[in-house]
Amino acid sequence: MKIIVITGASDGIGAEMARQLAQTHRAGVALVLAARNEAQLTQVAAQCAAHGAQTLVVKTDVSVESECRQLVAATLARFDRIDALINNAGMSAQALFEDVKAEDLAWYEQLMRINLWGSVWCTHAALPYLKQSRGSIVAVSSLAGLIGVPGRTAYSATKFAMTGFFEALRAELKATGVSVTTAYPGVVATQIRYRGFNAAGVAAGCQRPERRRCHER
């Protein structure tokens, strides 16, 4: 049985990957589903279980290192191995750099914690066990990680950073049997843009003035 960890699995690309893996492998796969929205994770887990997959839901905020490491610990406690880690969790952003006020620049750092550091922390925690299984690491980047476009300075910076990190890691791990794959999706029909930061650090599709109220993935 393959043990596969998917971050950002509550909706969008992560949820669809989980469903397709469940349909393809059925009883031959166990899916560890991680995201901040536990209710949505539970719904995705039920859809996967209906196809015969084993599931484990772990509420995880990848911008917090300890939660990334707890995700790996919970996986090992339940299944005692990891065969694949799919670093899919991420947040979008759309804002011209000149429109971002100095007091709001902190969200650039937060975006980097989610998109880059979440992947780095999860990968670091899982790596010893992936080497044991000669497993796989997948990083879900973006076309914005290959070319920068107006309004995407922050988002492209995080995705370019992912590209550099995982390309270097692929070379480092070549002799260990661990594969590293970086995916570059284009435009996808998900809620990620709606929930991404605008210039003020508020979810772009959110009409509320309070920050962070609409940031759930």
Looking up residue 83, the CATH number of its domain turns out to be 3.40.50.720
Question: Could you report the per-residue pLDDT of 120-164, keeping only the tens digit for each?
Answer: 999 999 999 999 999 999 999 999 999 998 999 999 999 999 999
Residue 202 lies in a domain: no
Residue 134 lies in a domain: yes
> How confident is residue 197, by pLDDT bands cut at 50, 70 and 90?
confident
The catalytic site residues sit at 155
Residue 213 lies in a domain: no
Residue 62 lies in a domain: yes
Residue 200 lies in a domain: no
pLDDT of residue 205: 61
CA torsion sign for 34, 35, 36, 37 is: negative
If 0-12 CB within 10 Å is exposed, 13-18 middle and 19+ buried, where does residue 122 land? buried
Q: How far apart are the C-alpha atoms of 81 and 103, rounded to whole Å?
A: 44
Residue 9 lies in a domain: yes
Between residues 181 and 145, which one has the greater pLDDT? Answer: 181
Name the domain count of the chain: 1
Residue 25 lies in a domain: yes
Entry pTM: 0.88
Host domain of residue 45: 2-191
Residue 60 lies in a domain: yes
